[in-house]
Chains A and B, each alone.
Chain A
Amino acid sequence: MDLKQTIVDRPSHINWRALVLPILVILGLEIGGHVLPLETEFWPVPSQIATAGWAALLNGSLLNATLETLTAATLGLLLGGSVGLAGGITLGLFPVANKLLTFSIEAVRPIPPTAIIPVALLVLGAGMTMEVSIVAFSAAWPILIFTRSAIQSVEPRLIEVSKVLCLGFFSRVWKIVLPAALPRIFVALRLAVAIALVVCVTVEVTANPIGLGYGMRVAQQALRPDLMFAYLVWIGVVGWSLNLLLTSLQKLLVWRQADEGR
């Protein structure tokens, strides 16, 4: 679900009216911070945040932390995504397996992913492995559910065609079922990417001493609110760019499909 007005609605087009509010807020904070008798150690003004962020960018600590977070998110997505995809395809193709596993899935799925943090911490200890496994656990569910329903709703005539053509099981999945279900699987992927980033930052803030979330915690505990806010803004930028990237990819995919259908 997208809002109608966005800041960048096409890559070349920037919606200037949308930028009025953010610019006013930043200016207001900057001027207010200088005029009002606040202690800047606790209330950093935007220029201080930008300076701290720029310094962290130059000494590489910000990029290093970003790399750690994105690595964990990507590995977790790959792992959880393939498990979810395989599971979703299996359950979508074999109604018997789906019906028999309903109860087990519905029993495990409502567990909040953050509740897995202590379990992973106990079994795997802090580090990359633990973060990857939690991301995998949380990303697998939406992909499994979406893939299953996408495959269940593949046009039955396509399946009949594949039977008439005497396609084998694997070529039927690869040539007929997956392409037909792809757009909806991609929606799930977009959802899962957003989830992966959120889970990564959550795990890092809560328990794991790597990545952007931990960088924020350290800045907060070292009484560097300027750096803490710089991390916060940066996390927002990373999340926003990922979302933009996936939205354009999705548009490209849907556009190609519509094109081929003509």
Chain B
Amino acid sequence: MYMLHRFERPLWFLGSVLVALGFIGIWQIVASSGLVSNVFLPGPDRTFRALLAGLESGVLTGKFFSTVQHMFYGWFIASLIGISLGAIIGTSRMAQVYVAPSLELLRPLPASALVPVAIAFLGLSTSMVLFIIGFGALWPMLLSTIHGFTSVEPRLNEVSRILRLTKMQYIFKIALPNAMPDILAGMRLSLTVALILAVVGEMLSGQDGLGQWILASGRMFRSPDLFAGVILLGALGYMSATLLTWFEQWVLRWRNEG
């Protein structure tokens, strides 16, 4: 019984991988049966060949890394601004009354709606792509930081007053550690947003990257290249989320030690 229990999880995992392979098999059968035109739906064989060819020649690898770069820089800028602005608003009563509600007005604005504005002012440049990513990725970070800073246990506030902590000491010793889980959750959400917007920005600006690659491939009816790009983008989304989860567990390891 114990043995069975021990193998249960890996067995289910193996089963779900087999099911996924089954789906790929169905995809292959549909593609090669000619039910759907090969122009629209390349089989997995042609897609993986295009993927391998792109990776071997370094074309796709290059595009992959420029998308990673756009995504990371935009996200990083948004994190810096979001966390510091969130810390200011979260610790100041004035800012919560006068500034925070205006953020509520800006938040539902889709970041992609700023693309035409950004193009008008920044042109089809890398800075325009970074601006779009930064704007979109800012909100989850900002809101979760404010939430983390305002939800400090009241007794900790009292303790910090008795200890006469300065505002800076309060932020770094009490509020920031308390807000860390919220901030990390916000960072994870905004990393997803950053990837979505990196693709949009690259499509519209023509800046080098996977977004520009898939749009161009689609327009030239090179569907295996298009699908290869989409698969790489999915892989990038998966890897970045996994990396951040590890990072989160490492930063928050103190919570499980108690």
Contacts from A to B (Cβ < 8 Å): 1, 3-7, 15, 17-22, 25, 42, 99-104, 106-108, 110-119, 121-123, 194, 197-198, 201-202, 205-207, 212-213, 216-217, 219-220, 225, 228-229, 231-232, 235-236, 239-240, 242-243
Chain A residues within 8 Å of B217, by CB: 118
13 A–B contacts from the bound complex (CB under 8 Å)? A1-B147, A3-B101, A19-B101, A21-B99, A22-B105, A101-B16, A103-B13, A103-B16, A103-B20, A115-B214, A118-B218, A206-B200, A220-B117
B113 touches A216 (CB 8 A): yes
Chain A residues within 8 Å of B230, by CB: 111, 115-116, 119
Chain B residues within 8 Å of A207, by CB: 203, 215
B15 touches A100 (CB 8 A): yes
Q: Which residue in A7, A122, A225 is a CB contact (below 8 Å) of B221?
A: A122
B16 touches A99 (CB 8 A): yes
B20 touches A104 (CB 8 A): yes
A99 touches B12 (CB 8 A): yes
Chain A residues within 8 Å of B99, by CB: 21
Q: Tell yes or no: B163 within 8 A of A by CB.
A: no
Considering the complex, give the chain B residue whose CB is closest to the CB of A97.
B19
Chain B residues within 8 Å of A216, by CB: 113, 116
Contact with A along B36-77 (1 / 0, CB 8 A): 000111000000000000000000000000000000000000
Contact with A along B214-252 (1 / 0, CB 8 A): 110111010100110110011111100100000000000
Most chain B C-beta atoms within 10 Å of own C-beta, residue among A5, A197, A213, A228: A5
Q: Tell yes or no: B196 within 8 A of A by CB.
A: yes
Chain B residues touching A, range: 35 or more
Give A257 Cβ to nearest chain B Cβ, in Å. 25
B214 touches A118 (CB 8 A): yes
B102 touches A117 (CB 8 A): no
In Å, the complex CA distance between A21 and B146 comes to 18
B203 touches A206 (CB 8 A): yes
B196 touches A110 (CB 8 A): no
Decide: A18 near B234, CB < 8 A? Known: A104-B20, A119-B218, A201-B113: no
Q: Which residue in A15, A111, A194, A235 is a CB contact (below 8 Å) of B101?
A: A15
In Å, the complex CA distance between A1 and B104 comes to 11
Decide: A112 near B98, CB < 8 A? Known: A3-B143, A219-B116, A236-B108: no
Chain A residues within 8 Å of B227, by CB: 119
Considering the complex, give the chain B residue whose CB is closest to the CB of A102.
B16
Chain B residues within 8 Å of A194, by CB: 108
Give B209 Cβ to nearest chain A Cβ, in Å. 11
A198 touches B233 (CB 8 A): no
Most chain A C-beta atoms within 10 Å of own C-beta, residue among B101, B192, B215, B229: B101
In Å, the complex CA distance between A113 and B234 comes to 10
Q: Which residue in A108, A198, A219 is a CB contact (below 8 Å) of B110?
A: A198
A110 touches B234 (CB 8 A): yes
Chain B residues within 8 Å of A104, by CB: 16, 19-20, 23
